[in-house]
Homo-oligomer: A and B are copies of this chain.
């Protein structure tokens, strides 16, 4: 029987999770919850989702603009096996009590501290760790991107030390109140929190991260420097390994993908929905292996990269698939991700 899923919060993450759940063969979307009426609330209804009111929201506000709601979040929680919390950063922590009281399992986002859940999660890195847990936290977009790459590289080779500079997008495309408009803001905490967050999933990885914020809305870019004890012999070998792995997309030079704007153009043309790019994105010529050191760029679409991970987290919690590979295959086929190649 399909796992019954609620999505609490219907912004950047919530609406994508809802759309992804609907496509899964072993899950059912029971409803979504939102605080205030907006174009997104209407689209939820037009997508056929049942709409509930959450947080400080007032059903009357929805009624007033003709949006029919099915009740409050508490009612929704009574009908589901698991809730995906997609509330703004730090609100998930407050919601945790609500979920516990309702006796439903919960998937939290990376904007919450790791203490919010029993385990932090990434499908390629520690799928099995989520098995049978009642609360799981899918790590943030940047941590997901790093954890995926680290999972592959540490599985095949011996990594001595990983250094990454994270060039962060300053805001999502529709977040119009955030800057900077013109300038670079270094994250004046060294190392940045990202490396520590990767260690919630890969505790033995020696990783150090630094970060800067730049005025773009499209994607983050990671500059990775990986020192191996034993590593790939060539860039080609590393590229080949990643090309054979799900959730990695490696562009070739002839494709003309100069940077994140063209990656997004590719994603718009590919048409998986909302111009999303759920894979780690690499450039074939943006990978170098020199002795025991590999250097490579990867771009991470902050809005969508965690979506397949949320799906896998549910599958792991409910033991719906025998292993990571099988869960990932189901998820990715449902989402239209082309898979390795």
A218-262 residues with Cβ-Cβ distance < 8 A to B are 218-219, 221, 223, 225, 251-262
Query: CB within 8 A of A182: which of B38, B173, B186?
Result: B173
* Complex alpha-carbon distance, A218 and B181, angstroms: 11
Whether A223 contacts B210 by the Cβ 8 Å rule is: yes
* Complex alpha-carbon distance, A254 and B180, angstroms: 20
A183-235 residues with Cβ-Cβ distance < 8 A to B are 183-186, 188-191, 208, 210, 212-219, 221, 223, 225
Query: How many residues of chain A have a CB within 8 Å of chain B?
Result: 79
Whether B214 contacts A261 by the Cβ 8 Å rule is: no
Kindly provide the distance from the CB of A264 to the nearest chain B CB, expressed in whole angstroms: 7
A282-330 residues with Cβ-Cβ distance < 8 A to B are 283, 285-288, 290, 295-297, 299
Q: Chain B interface: which of A39-47, A68-76, A88-96, A109-117?
A: A39-47
* Complex alpha-carbon distance, A327 and B175, angstroms: 38
Query: CB within 8 A of A176: which of B185, B253, B296, B299?
Result: B185
Q: CB of A274 within 8 A of chain B?
A: yes
Whether A262 contacts B176 by the Cβ 8 Å rule is: yes
Whether B38 contacts A259 by the Cβ 8 Å rule is: no
* Complex alpha-carbon distance, A6 and B160, angstroms: 54
Q: CB of A126 within 8 A of chain B?
A: no
Q: CB of A26 within 8 A of chain B?
A: no
Q: CB of A133 within 8 A of chain B?
A: no
Whether A261 contacts B167 by the Cβ 8 Å rule is: no
User: Which of chain B's residues have a CB closer than 8 A to the CB of A274?
Assistant: 268-269, 271, 275
Kindly provide the distance from the CB of A145 to the nearest chain B CB, expressed in whole angstroms: 14
User: Which of chain B's residues have a CB closer than 8 A to the CB of A210?
Assistant: 223, 225, 295, 297
* Complex alpha-carbon distance, A168 and B58, angstroms: 35
Query: CB within 8 A of A179: which of B171, B264, B268, B269?
Result: B171
User: Which of chain B's residues have a CB closer than 8 A to the CB of A49?
Assistant: none
Whether A212 contacts B223 by the Cβ 8 Å rule is: yes
Please name the residue on chain B nearest to A224 by beta carbon. B210
User: Which of chain B's residues have a CB closer than 8 A to the CB of A341?
Assistant: none
* Complex alpha-carbon distance, A208 and B290, angstroms: 11
* Complex alpha-carbon distance, A173 and B171, angstroms: 16
Query: CB within 8 A of A218: which of B163, B182, B261?
Result: B182
Q: 24 A-B residue contacts at CB 8 Å?
A: A38-B256, A39-B266, A40-B269, A43-B269, A43-B270, A175-B261, A176-B179, A176-B180, A176-B181, A176-B185, A176-B262, A179-B179, A182-B215, A183-B261, A183-B264, A186-B299, A188-B286, A190-B286, A190-B288, A190-B296, A212-B221, A212-B297, A215-B215, A268-B274
7 shortest A-B CB distances, which residue pairs?
A185-B259, A183-B261, A176-B180, A190-B288, A174-B265, A39-B255, A214-B214
- Having A176-B179, A191-B288, one finds 9 other A-B pairs with CB under 8 Å, namely A36-B256, A37-B254, A178-B181, A183-B216, A183-B261, A184-B214, A184-B260, A191-B295, A214-B214
